[in-house]
Structure 1
Amino acid sequence: MKHPVTPDGRYFVVRGRLWRMSNPGIGEDERSKLTKRLMTARRAVRDAEAQEDPKAEAAAHRAVDDAKRALGERGPVWWDDGSPDLNRHMVKNTTYADWYAKTGRSGPEGS
């Protein structure tokens, strides 16, 4: 497993930080379309940066944000139990701290 996923499937952890997973309620066809849209937008960001085109870059960043929101990685949470959104929080400062410590990745090399 490259990045550990929280037991509830809401986040994965990279360098000790939580990142929200895509909404598991999205069907595979739709997820595939949205993922392609996200990757296209990310390439547009790269290309706009290389061309030093701030207007194109801003539009590309908006397209990335739109795709991430459609996937459920940003914006309103996709779960309905009232739990807060901990996206981008350091895992050690959250209710997932004990779980993460048990993964063996909570040291400097895993955080």
Structure 2
Amino acid sequence: MTTGLDLAATSDDDRYFRHSGRRWRKTDPSIPEPIRARLVSHLGRGRSGVRNSKNDDDDGVALRAARATVQLAKEGLGERGAAWWDQSPQERRARWERALEELDRLADGPGGR
């Protein structure tokens, strides 16, 4: 499923983008589109949860859960955690599979989907 690209040879222009004066890590380009779409969907739900939880009066439980979802999705996408260009194809695949498994479990749990 991975492309087998030699991502270690990518330049900083391929690894990062700038927004509002900050440098942000790009998504791992070797992630297959259906997997990337699922991770981005979880990321969007997590971000929405962060916004919506600010109105909740639950001692920050919803906010912590939403932030954990965002963190896991960004790790799965390769935007946080170990740099994707330093990982082998097997490590990259394991990263996004682990993130999706956990995200799906969280989404199906109490308060999920």
What range is the shorter-chain TM-score in? 0.5 to 0.7
Distance (Å, rounded) in 1 between the aligned partners of 2:77 and 2:43: 9
When normalised by structure 1's length, the TM-score is: 0.63
Across the aligned residues of Structure 1 and Structure 2, the Cα RMSD in angstroms comes to 1.8
Q: How many correspondences in the alignment?
A: 76
Give 1:46's aligned residue: 51
Deviating above 4 A after TM superposition, structure 1's stretches of 4 or more consecutive aligned residues are: none
Equivalence map 1:1-111=2 (5 Å): 8-53=13-58, 54-80=60-86
Secondary structure in 1 matching 2:80:
coil
Distance (Å, rounded) in 2 between the aligned partners of 1:49 and 1:11: 30
Distance (Å, rounded) in 1 between the aligned partners of 2:22 and 2:48: 24
Distance (Å, rounded) in 1 between the aligned partners of 2:28 and 2:18: 16
Report which of the two has the higher share of helix: 2
When normalised by structure 2's length, the TM-score is: 0.62
Distance (Å, rounded) in 1 between the aligned partners of 2:21 and 2:51: 26
Q: Which amino acid aligns with 1:34?
A: L
Secondary structure in 2 matching 1:19:
strand
Which of structures 1 and 2 has the larger relative contact order (alpha carbons within 8 angstroms, sep 6+)? 1
Task: Give how far 1:7 is off.
Answer: 5.7
Task: Give how far 1:15 is off.
Answer: 2.1
Distance (Å, rounded) in 2 between the aligned partners of 1:44 and 1:16: 26
Task: Give how far 1:16 is off.
Answer: 2.0
